[in-house]
Amino acid sequence: MKAGIVVFPGTNRERDMAHALKLITGHAPRMIWHHETSLGDLDLVVLPGGFSFGDYLRSGAMAAHSPIMAEIRRFAEKGGHILGVCNGFQVLTESHLLPGALLRNAGLRFLSQDCHLKVENATTPYTRGWKSGDVFRAPLAHGDGNYTASPETLQRLEGEGRVAFRYSTASGHVSHDDRHANPNGSALSIAGILSENGRVCGLMPHPENLVDPEIGATDGVPLFKGLVEALVA
Amino acid sequence: MKIRVYVSLKEGVLDPQGKAIGHALNSLGFQGLGEVRVNRVVDLDVPADDSSAAIAKGEAMARALLANEVIEDYSVEVVA
Amino acid sequence: MKIRVYVSLKEGVLDPQGKAIGHALNSLGFQGLGEVRVNRVVDLDVPADDSSAAIAKGEAMARALLANEVIEDYSVEVVA
Amino acid sequence: MTVTIDAKLAQSFGLTGGEYDKLLTIMGRTPSFAELGIFSVMWSEHCSYKSSRVHLKTLPTKAPWVIHGPGENAGVVDIGEGLAAIFKMESHNHPSFIEPYQGAATGVGGILRDVFTMGARPVANLNALRFGDAKHSGTRRVVDGVVRGIGGYGNCVGVPTVGGEVNFHKAYDGNPLVNAMTVGIARKDKIFLSAAAGIGNPVVYVGSKTGRDGIHGATMSSAEFDDKAASKRPTVQVGDPFIEKLLIEACLELMATDAIVAIQDMGAAGLTSSAVEMAGKGGVGIELNLDAVPQREPNMTAYEMMLSESQERMLMVLKPERTEEARRIFEKWELDFAIVGKLTDSGHITVIHNGVTEANIPLAPLADEAPIYNRPMVHAEPPRHISPPADPVGIEHALLTLIGCPDLASRSWIWNQYDGSVGGNTARRPGAADAAIVRVDGTRLGLALTTDCTPRYCQADPKAGGAQAVAEAWRNITATGAKPLAVTDNLNFGNPERPEIMGQFADAIKGMGDACRALDFPVVSGNVSLYNETRSPTGLAQAILPTPAIGALGVIADASKSIGLAMPDNHDLVLVGEIRGELGQSLWLREICHKEEGAPPRIDLVAERHNGDFVRAQIEAGHVAACHDIADGGLMITIAEMVMASGVGCELLAPPHGLPIHAFWYGEDQACYVIATKNAKAMLSAAEKAHVPARKLGHSKGTSLKMADGMSVSASRLREINEAFFPKFMGEGA
Ligand SMILES: Nc1ncnc2c1ncn2[C@@H]1O[C@H](COP(=O)(O)OP(=O)(O)O)[C@@H](O)[C@H]1O
Ligand SMILES: [Mg+2]
């Protein structure tokens, strides 16, 4: 799988993502500076976590206007696969490649802790490594992860199976108003969503930080294994 | 020309920060406050010949970057 | 009575946000902007009989909580 | 400027009459305003260490694995595989009281620069925090701002914050302590130093523009607080972690080339101290042209530019032929880059602004004749050891009280606001082990990192307290299986001009030095923060508790083999070390009997080393499933923390005869560990062979902590109480 990772000024989880991709796919991804204007030949573009442009103004807002984003938009239009994690998810909503927006966490504090994610739709390239209803652990680390969208958008996301991951308890219980189950207060406990064609995926937590048995656990591995299966076949 | 771009959360979008501030003000003894909203203003000095040109520029900047129209409204005024 | 408390960084205090936004606007093609500053407004509805009472309340709230007087200035106006 | 430059003005700059006379002798004339400013910051306590230097010199700083000890921007130790760990701790106490968010944030920024300026990629941050009494009305504001500030900066630059410590005590009501530590990794043969060389080489300024930030911050942080503090407020500096992140990447990119001759961050006293130190260390002169300095505000004077403490700036000496290559790198990262001067053979620092020479000072006497004081000291008689007072409440009540008190309550509310996982190498996060474990990228090596100090012990007996802080840091690293390598420190004390404070300072250093020598644990970097006092309106000075915070680093060959404190089911619990029931200065005494008295626990450095080496050997041999040292709160708290970490309970045996029961469970005896092992018998016989005291404490099973007398508390109840304090204190109700 040929993957590229986009680096904006202030991106800080590009190495983590590269490590995960290398570990699981065996190939080091290409690092793409935000000033570049061509993606080259890629199967997957990843927008990693961090604080692009300091996350000043709104998280992801300035990165959404970086030169490379025009090319990423074309890539999406051609049906390319794009994964945005954390700040990458925020960049995708700010550039309208995914609907909705990510507001300040409901508790108004940055959260860095493990959370549990429930796989809602296991038929996508991003989720096929799991079964629907599976629950896995992932670290989260963000101040603005509180997903919101208009009622119509939320309804469409639900109706079209475009909610990829939802926050839950370790046993898979979903409860929107309980901070233990839904730490940042996201609408409908949404942690990750898909584009209409299912090829653009954004999620807040960091599966890439849980892929190495030496660091604790491998809960994040199915995401990357599934992508390899889907995109290299 | 100095302009001010006000960016505010759309009505109906929850403003947890405003809520928290309302709460804190209340416990400081400021009672009977209605809804509290915290918004952002961006103060800029734009090269423009007249107010309407300056405002048009402010609006263009708001649309392009300063506001996220999914969740925010904006308005622009000339301050000097 | 609706008031608006306007909180801005004191002159000379670095505004990292404003700097980054000015930069981004510039690369979006908005040239010739002077200094860009990002400030905060808090919109509140206070129980008060007249404007001067409302403003006094706003100032008290700014001092107590809304502004960090170490680095910020504030001003209060009645909006409705 | 129309001010008269004389001894009176010098005094308002913080120079004594004697110091001003010395200045006049060096200069042979009345100094200019800018020159006076330069002298005053270079000779301030913060930059000159004039009160502390004679004592600091007594600390051991060498070991075969030490590459650079004190004297550089940070300490450097060899960790094997051709790599070095670079680390240091620094305080931002006074700024954090004035503006907690920015004070703490810029503290993190400053210590990061000290580490990456040497060529290291920062891989971990820690922070040692002391706040006022939790019941004091101002404490919450400080806690809130400091924690947000540390997170705001560290999270944005993408360096995981993996550890630290927090205490509450009324002595910090008006003077909190914020000590930040950064650890970085570099190739051993690619360490960058600050000594300038090469007459004619360009001096280059990179990073953010200069504004009027924090002018006179270096002298401010050496001045006691009083109610005039308010008038000093405009000196607050604002940090820009986004720029810092770019600066890290740009510097590391440039460091991969060979363009740099010398590099130095601009910390306290900004351009002045960086220029003076680089040229001074290299024995060359330096000429600065201030017209070239990137400026954020109009009409800045030479004085203002030389003393500005604007953040996120660095000064470098480059090879002339590589300057354009360097410029390209910084322009790519959209940072300011300006050639602001050159090295000269004058031996002077010369500052030119608008064509006028604003300062011209000989560097050698500026450094060599900097004041050094051997200040008068009074040594307080240490209190006597007390015998255990009667137990007024019983074991269970004490357990539930202690586990929820501010000094023992779970700190998860704090560390959950710090990104602990960025980098993907954090093998043990806060709360998981006695030291955080961070894997070194591209290897299996793990760094074991901790900060420690027990100020109430230091207050009672500074020498014992200094030794205890070092011993606890060493023990915490040992408990993970790592080998302790070296120490950085942050010595926070009151006004050194008071003999009793100076006595505390000297005694604490003596204790630290003894422990460092006994444990082969040299000091490789550090920082001194004096004048931590508040003056009440009546004029009474109230000093903080003496707080020599220790930051320490160890290495384990395989990060994934490190040991945490989560106790697995069905294991024997073994105590290593001897419990004498030391209740003097214990938390039990303070929280249950409301007394702070007696001598702190005895420090036996021979036993410390012996017991620790035994524990580490048992871990290396694979016999240890969990390990936790005994510290604040004593043995019962150690066990309760192990229970809470895993949710697995235990059944404890009856305590030994001969000691009051509460003294056994709550004494804060040193050099002790609790180990979970498959087989207590084997562990006990190994201990006997090694002449290490050990006894079986019980067995892990179930989900409750159970004592032989029938007391039983569930792990979930313990957790609930343990986690309640912070959210409640911060008014967030869990
Ligand atoms: N308490 C201490 N113990 C050991 N070394 C110290 C101590 N305090 C300062 N040093 C060393 O003195 C040097 C100067 O320290 P400092 O002025 O804090 O550095 P910086 O200029 O980077 O802020 C550093 O090398 C530091 O490690
Ligand atoms: Mg330094």
Q: Which chains touch D (3 or more CB pairs under 8 A)?
A: A, C
Question: Can you tell me which atom of ligand 1 is nearest the CA of D491?
Answer: 1
Query: What is the model's pLDDT at position D216?
Result: 63
Query: What is the model's pLDDT at position D166?
Result: 98
Q: Which residues of A touch B39 (CB under 8 A)?
A: none
Tell me the torsion sign for CA atoms D520, D551, D548, D213.
positive
Residue type for D352, please? I
Which ligand is closest in space to the CA of residue D86? 1
Q: Which residues of A touch B16 (CB under 8 A)?
A: 103-104, 106-108, 146, 185
Residue type for A208, please? E
How far does the centroid of ligand 1 lie from the alpha carbon of residue D186, in Å?
20
Q: Is A30 exposed, middle or buried (0-12, 13-18, 19+ CB in 10 A)?
A: middle
Cα separation of the two ends of chain D: 57
The annotated binding site of D is made up of 49, 88, 90-94, 113-114, 237, 265, 309-311, 489, 526-527, 529
Does residue D595 lie within any of the structural domains?
yes
How far does the centroid of ligand 2 lie from the alpha carbon of residue D194, in Å?
9
Mean pLDDT over C11-30 rounds to 93
Please state, in angstroms and rounded to a whole number, the distance separating the CA atoms of residues A179 and A169.
Answer: 10
Partner residue facing A104 (CB), from B17, B68, B70: B17
Number of structural domains chain D divides into: 2
Q: Which residues of C touch A54 (CB under 8 A)?
A: 16-17, 20
Structure tokens at A168: 């839950």
Strand blocks (E) in D383-463: 426-428, 436-439, 446-452
Pairing of strands D161-168, D121-131: parallel
Query: What is the model's pLDDT at position D541?
Result: 85
Q: Which of A167, D710, D576, C38 is nearest to B40 (CA)?
A: C38
B13 has a chain C CB within 8 A of its CB? no
Does residue D160 lie within any of the structural domains?
no
Domain that holds residue D245: 193-368
Question: How much is the mean pLDDT over chain D?
Answer: 95
Please state, in angstroms and rounded to a whole number, the distance separating the CA atoms of residues C56 and D338.
Answer: 49
Mean pLDDT over D307-327 rounds to 96
Residues constituting chain A = 233
Does residue D482 lie within any of the structural domains?
no
Mean pLDDT over D102-131 rounds to 97
- C17 and A54 within 8 Å at the Cβ level: the answer is yes
* Tens of pLDDT, residues C31-48: 999 889 999 999 999 999
ipTM of the complex: 0.92
How many A×D Cβ pairs under 8 Å? 91
| CATH code for the domain in which residue D573 is found | 3.90.650.10
The annotated binding site of D for Mg(2+) is made up of 90, 114, 265, 527
Question: Domains (ranges, CATH) in chain A?
Answer: 3-102+111-232 (3.40.50.880)
Mutate to test the interface with A, among B38, B40, B70 (most CBs of A within 10 A): B70
Using pLDDT thresholds of 50, 70 and 90, give the confidence band for residue C12. confident
Mean pLDDT over D1-24 rounds to 90
* Tens of pLDDT, residues A75-93: 999 999 999 999 999 999 9
- Please work out, in degrees rounded to the nearest 5, the angle formed at the alpha carbon of residue D370 by the alpha carbons of D369 and D371: 105
Question: In chain B, which stretches have pLDDT less than 70?
Answer: none
Query: What is the model's pLDDT at position D233?
Result: 38
Structure tokens at D395: 């074991």
Question: In chain A, which stretches have pLDDT less than 70?
Answer: 233
Q: Which chains touch A (3 or more CB pairs under 8 A)?
A: B, C, D
Nearest CA in chain C to B23: C65
Provide residues with CB under 6 Å of ligand 1. Answer: D 56, 59, 70-73, 88, 90, 114, 267-268, 489, 491, 523, 525-528
**Final residue of a structural domain among D347, D368, D389:** D368
Does residue D693 lie within any of the structural domains?
yes
Q: Which residues of B touch A104 (CB under 8 A)?
A: 16-17
Q: What are phi and psi of D544, to 5 degrees?
A: -70, 170
Question: Domains (ranges, CATH) in chain C?
Answer: 2-78 (3.30.1280.10)
Partner residue facing A57 (CB), from C17, C27, C28: C17
Query: What is the model's pLDDT at position D2?
Result: 64
Nearest CA in chain D to A107: D732
Weakest mean pLDDT among C20-24, D214-218, D570-574, D687-691: D214-218
Enter the pTM of the model. Answer: 0.94
**Buried b / exposed e across A127-145, counting CB within 10 Å, b at 16+?**
bbbbeeebbbbbbbbbbbb
- A112 and D416 within 8 Å at the Cβ level: the answer is yes
Q: Which of D112, D142, D138, D141 is nearest to D129 (CA)?
A: D142
Mean pLDDT over D655-679 rounds to 97
From D55, D68, D92, D216, the catalytic residue: D92
Report every protein residue that has its C-beta within 5 angstroms of ion ligand 2.
Answer: D 73, 114, 267
Cα separation of the two ends of chain B: 6
Query: What is the model's pLDDT at position B25?
Result: 93
pLDDT at D218 over 90: no
- Please work out, in degrees rounded to the nearest 5, the angle formed at the alpha carbon of residue B77 by the alpha carbons of B75 and C1: 75
Query: What is the model's pLDDT at position D733?
Result: 61
Paired residues of A83 in beta bridges: A46, A201
How far does the centroid of ligand 2 lie from the alpha carbon of residue D74, in Å?
7
Please state, in angstroms and rounded to a whole number, the distance separating the CA atoms of residues D110 and D311.
Answer: 8
* Tens of pLDDT, residues D569-603: 999 999 999 999 999 999 999 999 999 999 999 99
Q: What are phi and psi of D350, to 5 degrees?
A: -120, 130
CB D310 within 8 A of CB C14: yes
The yes-or-no answer on residue D571 being catalytic is: no
How far does the centroid of ligand 2 lie from the alpha carbon of residue D653, in Å?
53
Query: What is the model's pLDDT at position A117?
Result: 98
Ligand 1: residue whose CA is nearest its atom 17: D47
Paired residues of D24 in beta bridges: none
Structure tokens at D120: 């290291």
Query: What is the model's pLDDT at position D247?
Result: 98
